[in-house]
A and B are shown apart, each in its own frame.
Chain A
Amino acid sequence: MAGRLSTIGTRIAQSIPVILGVVVVSFVLTRALPGDPAVYFAGAAADEASIAEVRTALGLDKPLPEQFLIYARDVATGNLGQSLSTGQPVLEDLANRLPASLELTLTALMLSCAVAIPLGVLAATRPGSAVDHLCRVLVTAGVSLPTFFTGVVLIYIFYYLLGIAPSPLGRLDFIYIEPDRITGFYLIDAALAGDWETWVGALKQLVLPAVTLALFTMAPLARMTRAAMLSALSSDYIRTARAAGLTEDKVLFTYAFRNALLPVITTLGMVFSFTLGANVLVEKVFAWPGIGSYAVEALVVSDYAAVQGFVLAMALLFVALNLVIDLTYTLIDPRIGFETK
């Protein structure tokens, strides 16, 4: 157990150089702008004075290592600069909009896990069956679907043709009152407030974007589950378990599925990466007021501080998610603690 604890410690410590790397890359991106970064950061409407002001604020008149230190200090203290378009500090904007993105992303992920993992397991246990073929089609079609295109098609079918979906504009139709902000997740906040009408309204808005995102992430998950399950089922220890007369349920779940889960959890990291990226596109399609659409709006008006703040925030979020995945893995796989001993 001591080995396990120290492994967890090591894993957490290992994410420090990664965070450092992320900050370095992010710094390079802000300074790699062709031309004078100060001009970019000050925005199109800036005059000489405000450009000079930005230059001093960013420390652009100092040598690079010193600039990096200033940048690192700013990041550490949460100073990501001012957004030109909203006039607010970037960090504040991101914090305000993050719950919307998380609500969408997490709902989509839960949805896709709930469909993809059982589907992959079923496909692996019945190779060549209808479920298996369905799984294959879904997997190949799923990775070929551009998320933004899926979103557009779903809007056309469910909003324009069938009229059962609400208009694809944001998190809540204007007829509902926004729930009091507690977590920032409308579904949770509305439930906490006991306002079920708003809850249903928020859910209606959430369904299409979440399905769009889930369709995209289902494919890699189902594919990996199927492959991991197949390889687990063909392994020697399954043969041993069968030779010992264990029931098929025991063989499938306690023996095969738990082993198959390990590579699936590893894949989740990649899936998160895809989801966070696709999130940007889905938010734009559905006018979802998350950090993705914030970044897209900022890109259009060349609001560099906002864009780079968004990239950095996404990376840190992803590092945190990966850490959670790693820790989960450590808890499930007993072999991990052993390697580092």
Chain B
Amino acid sequence: MSLLSINDLQVSFKTRRGTVNAVRGLSLEIEKGETLGIVGESGSGKSVTSYALMRLLESNGRISGGALSYGGIDLRHAKESVMRDLRGREISMIFQNPRAALNPIRKVGHQIEDVLRRHAKATRSTARAEAIKALEAVKIRDPEARYNAYPFELSGGMCQRIVIALALACDPKLLIADEPTTGLDITTQKAVMDLIADLIAERGMSAMVITHDLGLAAQYCNRIVVMKDGEIVEQGDPKRLFTAPEHPYTRKLVDATPRSGASVRSLLPAEQRTPAPELPVSETPLLEVRDLTKTYQGKSGPVHAVKGISFKVMKGQSVGLVGESGCGKSTTSSILVRLTDPTSGEILFNGEDLAKTPAGTFARDPRRAAIQMVFQDATDSFNPRHTARHSIAEPLKRLTGLKGKALKDRVEELADLVGLPRPLLDRFPHQLSGGQKARVGIARAIAVEPQFLILDEPTAALDVSIQAIVLNLLVDLRAKLGISFLFVSHDLHVVRLLCDHVIVMRDGEILEEGPAAAVMDAPAHAYTRELLAAAPEPPALAETLSSAAE
């Protein structure tokens, strides 16, 4: 008998717009010792499923049908007191955003003790020792000291280890991991996932890993369930899913998952692939950065965010700027787009030093239109009170003086160019989807025909299938308009798809740079190798299959 079996589960939420069926007739089983991956894009109902089986749904949600059975216990009808005994002892859960998942004003050791004592795994006198043991189990160095720490004193990765320690303290038989690595840096992601995998194997637990990343699921799970709109579209062995996806949606997901050896066109469903455009790169530098530094005055002394970096971007070239959080890539892009002043250094743009014009007055500089940016968070980057049309028209009005019919025509021309249906122009940001907002953001950035476009993780918040479309749009625009790109990202696969040249940054310094293929295939620096190794690598067979299908 399987450890967990879900049969025809229905979950519905009451909202302003009526009842929403988040999970619609889902059935699955988890065997003892099995790690099941549940993969889906946002809104697919994958997290709701896990909350339903823990009976931790928000107050407006309820299980409206089906059966949930764990080791013979009917989870749907079990008393709340029975559920409380099960949670933490039989079934445990770890979450995304680990720092918020811990009580901010309670020592982490005490939080672990609370769980141990609740499930009678420790007494008052043994609690401390047991908690430290639990910390040791997740390979935390110096657990005695960490016992007394508060969550705010620990890094995100460390907090996730504590959350894992807390979840596993009472030796549960089933672990549910809800996007356990979202928001963590790529190398930390790998460390956390490896730890979870090791612990699962060591203790012979079953696990349910919920993720949007098909590649990650493929690497760590025995079996994968693909969900869409509250239903399972396909399930099976990871390799089989990648080599022979049966459902068109699975195929689309498999295709859209960035991986080494893929081309940007191959991310799209086969029938949408058009020949990739030519992307000529000139030998003339458009932008030349010389010895750029930026030092902030922090609370505990000066912070050197950027420590004297130099690089060039040629006309028509796409350069990738790669690094983990805190490496200085965002500061660099903010300086280059002239929103922040550097502490020292030159920014030669077409031979003129832009650093001589302070950021405060650059808004009225004639060269303002030449350098534009696509922002990371599509929601945050739009004035909530302006329609898409207004947002796209703003730079045109201010920088080109277009008015009336000419302005309207230009905005609509831009909408067509980025593939945004014209009726959507009159919507407000909150009425647009993530992909649509990305298109508006790109339209706004290219509206004034910049020569140089900085893209700050423009697809980080998007589902993979939308990301595939946006990345292809960017390639087409680059070919059509001859813009140079600086693509800032933490995702090496994506950088490789989009860039000719790669710069790897850490701690405000450039560690390595060179042609994308060279850096990716034969990294010179150990850190680059580490980054590459940390990126989840889906089974490579998919590519051959997709090309065979073409």
Using CB atoms and an 8 Å cutoff, list the residues of chain A in contact with chain B.
127, 235-237, 239-248, 250, 254-255, 258-259, 262, 332-335, 338-339, 341
Query: Contact at A240–B114, with CB atoms within 8 Å?
Result: no
Query: Contact at B114–A254, with CB atoms within 8 Å?
Result: yes
Query: Contact at B166–A335, with CB atoms within 8 Å?
Result: no
Q: How distant is A50 from chain B, measured CB to nearest CB, in Å?
A: 57
Given known contacts A240-B102, A246-B115, is B166 in contact with A341 (CB within 8 Å)?
no
Query: Contact at A235–B100, with CB atoms within 8 Å?
Result: yes
Query: Contact at A245–B89, with CB atoms within 8 Å?
Result: yes
Query: Contact at A335–B104, with CB atoms within 8 Å?
Result: yes
Interface size on B, residues (CB 8 A): 33
Check if B97 is an interface residue, CB within 8 A of chain A. yes
Please name the residue on chain A nearest to B112 by beta carbon. Answer: A244
Q: How distant is B508 from chain A, measured CB to nearest CB, in Å?
A: 23
Question: Can you report 23 residue pairs joining A to B where beta carbons are below 8 Å apart?
Answer: A127-B59, A236-B100, A237-B100, A237-B103, A239-B101, A240-B102, A241-B114, A243-B56, A243-B87, A243-B93, A244-B115, A244-B167, A246-B84, A247-B84, A248-B84, A250-B114, A250-B118, A254-B114, A258-B106, A335-B105, A335-B150, A338-B152, A339-B299
Q: How distant is B529 from chain A, measured CB to nearest CB, in Å?
A: 35
State which of B56, B102, B104, B118 has its C-beta within 8 Å of the C-beta of A247.
B118
Given known contacts A335-B104, A338-B153, is B166 in contact with A244 (CB within 8 Å)?
yes
State which of B101, B105, B299 has its C-beta within 8 Å of the C-beta of A240.
B101
**Neighbouring A residues of B100 by C-beta, 8 Å:** 235-237
Given known contacts A241-B103, A332-B105, is B89 in contact with A236 (CB within 8 Å)?
no
In the complex, the number of residue pairs spanning A and B with C-beta atoms less than 8 Å apart equals 84
Query: Contact at A237–B56, with CB atoms within 8 Å?
Result: no
Using CB atoms and an 8 Å cutoff, list the residues of chain B in contact with chain A.
54, 56, 59, 83-89, 92-93, 95, 97, 100-106, 114-115, 118-119, 150, 152-153, 163, 166-167, 299-300
Query: Contact at B166–A237, with CB atoms within 8 Å?
Result: no
A245 to B86, CA, bound (A): 7
Please name the residue on chain A nearest to B149 by beta carbon. Answer: A334
Query: Contact at A255–B150, with CB atoms within 8 Å?
Result: no
Query: Contact at B95–A245, with CB atoms within 8 Å?
Result: no
**Neighbouring A residues of B300 by C-beta, 8 Å:** 341
**Neighbouring A residues of B167 by C-beta, 8 Å:** 243-244
**Neighbouring B residues of A235 by C-beta, 8 Å:** 100
**Neighbouring B residues of A258 by C-beta, 8 Å:** 105-106
Query: Contact at B118–A246, with CB atoms within 8 Å?
Result: yes
A243 to B172, CA, bound (A): 12
A262 to B105, CA, bound (A): 10
Given known contacts A236-B95, A236-B97, A338-B153, is B84 in contact with A245 (CB within 8 Å)?
yes
Query: Contact at B54–A243, with CB atoms within 8 Å?
Result: yes
Query: Contact at B88–A237, with CB atoms within 8 Å?
Result: no
Query: Contact at A237–B115, with CB atoms within 8 Å?
Result: no
**Neighbouring A residues of B103 by C-beta, 8 Å:** 237, 240-241, 255, 259
Task: Given A237-B102, A241-B114, A243-B54, output 12 extra A-B contacts at Cβ < 8 Å.
Answer: A236-B100, A239-B56, A239-B95, A240-B95, A240-B103, A241-B103, A245-B86, A246-B114, A246-B115, A254-B114, A255-B103, A341-B300
State which of A242, A333, A338, A339 has its C-beta within 8 Å of the C-beta of B56.
A242
**Neighbouring A residues of B93 by C-beta, 8 Å:** 240, 243
**Neighbouring B residues of A254 by C-beta, 8 Å:** 106, 114
Q: How distant is A226 from chain B, measured CB to nearest CB, in Å?
A: 16
State which of A245, A246, A334 has its C-beta within 8 Å of the C-beta of B105.
A334
Query: Contact at B106–A255, with CB atoms within 8 Å?
Result: yes
Query: Contact at A334–B150, with CB atoms within 8 Å?
Result: yes
Q: How distant is B82 from chain A, measured CB to nearest CB, in Å?
A: 10
Q: How distant is A157 from chain B, measured CB to nearest CB, in Å?
A: 40
A262 to B104, CA, bound (A): 12
Question: Nearest 9 CB-CB pairs, A to B?
Answer: A245-B88, A245-B87, A244-B88, A236-B100, A243-B93, A244-B115, A237-B103, A240-B101, A236-B101
**Neighbouring B residues of A244 by C-beta, 8 Å:** 87-88, 92, 114-115, 118, 166-167
A314 to B163, CA, bound (A): 48
Q: How distant is A241 from chain B, measured CB to nearest CB, in Å?
A: 7
A334 to B163, CA, bound (A): 19
